[in-house]
Structure 1
Amino acid sequence: MVQAIRSSEVSLEELESHFGLTLTENPAFFPEWQAPDLKLTESEVQRLNQVKQHFRYLLRQPPVLEGAVKMVVLSPLLELAGFYEPPFQIRSEAEISISSKDPDTETVVRGAIDILVLMEKLWLLVIEAKMSDFSLTKALAQALSHMLASPEAVTFGMITNGTDFVFLRVNTEETATYSSSRVFSLLSPTNELIDVLTILKTLGQKIIKTS
């Protein structure tokens, strides 16, 4: 009998048991986030400082809703990363369906979430929550399920609740394996949007080279 699970309800344990997904802590698996060689321009840094100021203003008027996060934080990041220009193609509200490989205990994960997909290789998920401090861990399994459904063997992801950001890498070439970056936060004393944009641009360049 086929067991159907909504992607919004899937757990890491289910992805591990039904789809063989495993976590690796090998730093060589996901080097793109750790020490990018790319340097931002002074104008880009100034723009990111402005974005952080706008976000701080939003925090004074809770709840911080998903739509506001997209306008104030995510949209400038995508623009500065060059994702609104060719060859990138953005689509949203992606629907996915993945099936486990075991025919005796087949499990299907289906779902549609408000997500941005760039060339099938980079998935950006904005957590829909009433408060910006909604934990990224709540969306980790959901993001991984969508990345597993991608036709590309190697995919990258970013989850954000507007305050925090975490990057993911999934490789399904042999066994389904994933790793994550550390969490970058707008509540940090320094402007970690600089790190976030640097990683996004690094991933964008990598996607172009491998497309």
Structure 2
Amino acid sequence: MIQVIQAQNVTLGYLEERFGLQQAENEDFFTEWFDILPDITDLEKQYLDRVKFHFLRLVKRPPLLEEAVKLVVLSPLLSLAGFYDDPFFIKSEQSIEISLEDEGEIVRGRIDVLVIQQQLWLLIIESKRASFSLLEAIPQALAYMLANPQLEKPLFGLVMNGSDFIFLKLTRVNQPEYALSDQFTLLRRENELYKVLSILKKLGTILI
């Protein structure tokens, strides 16, 4: 009998045990989130200041659900980063499955946002409601990334809940290996959306 496991219920321990996933120890594994990032314009900064203001205003009247996070924060970031334009395409609620035939298990779920180029998966985004911990979202995003049909290129991810953001990188050339960026948050005085947008722009550049 095949056991179906929902992706939101998986843990890092499960992914390590069942899929051989390992966290990279070498800092050079994931330099894309901090090395030579592109500048953003004053106009983009002004726009991101408005995005931060709108989000913090909504937080005052909870609950702030996942769809509101996508609308208020994620959509402007994707637009400014150029992911709505050629050569990229956006897919939402993309169904995935990864199976362990020997174990009789299937991990099943839906990717919130998938950025592709000619069917090549480039960036997976997992968006949660404002009260959701990113520690719970990370294994879910990694499960989706493990389902990527292309093995030869690295895959990037972003988990967010409106106020906090963490980038991920996964490779599967030999053994599945991943790394995380620092966590960025809108709860500091400095607007860290500037850095988030700069990283998204960097990923958009190197991925094509």
The normalised TM-score by structure 1 is 0.91
Map residues 115-134 of structure 1 onto 2, 5 A cutoff.
115-119=112-116, 120-127=121-128, 129=129, 132-134=130-132
Map residues 56-205 of structure 1 onto 2, 5 A cutoff.
56-100=56-100, 104-113=102-111, 115-119=112-116, 120-127=121-128, 129=129, 132-153=130-151, 154-205=154-205
Return the offset for 1:192.
0.3
Which structure shows the bigger proportion of residues in strand conformation? Answer: 2
Return the offset for 1:147.
0.4
2:163 and 2:36 mapped to 1: Cα distance?
A: 22
1:26-80 per-residue CA deviation (whole Å, 9 max, x = no partner) reads 2100001123331111111111111111112112211111122111111110110
1:4 and 1:56 mapped to 2: Cα distance?
A: 38
**Structure 1 alignment gaps of length 5 or more:** none
Q: Which amino acid aligns with 2:175?
A: T
Return the offset for 1:106.
4.2
Is residue 69–residue 162 contact of structure 2 (8 Å, CA) maintained in 1? yes
* Root-mean-square deviation (Å): 1.4
Return the offset for 1:121.
1.5
**Structure 2 alignment gaps of length 5 or more:** none
Return the offset for 1:2.
4.0
3-state SS, counterpart of residue 105 of structure 1? coil
Q: What residue number does 2:51 align with?
A: 51
3-state SS, counterpart of residue 32 of structure 2? helix
1:10-40 per-residue CA deviation (whole Å, 9 max, x = no partner) reads 1111111110000113210000112333111
**C-alpha distance 112-37 of structure 1, shift in aligned 2 (>3 A):** closer
2:189 and 2:25 mapped to 1: Cα distance?
A: 27
Q: Which amino acid aligns with 1:188?
A: R
Q: Show structure 1 runs of 4+ deviating over 3 A.
A: none
Is residue 158–residue 168 contact of structure 1 (8 Å, CA) maintained in 2? yes
Q: What residue number does 1:15 align with?
A: 15
The count of corresponding residues between Structure 1 and Structure 2 is 202
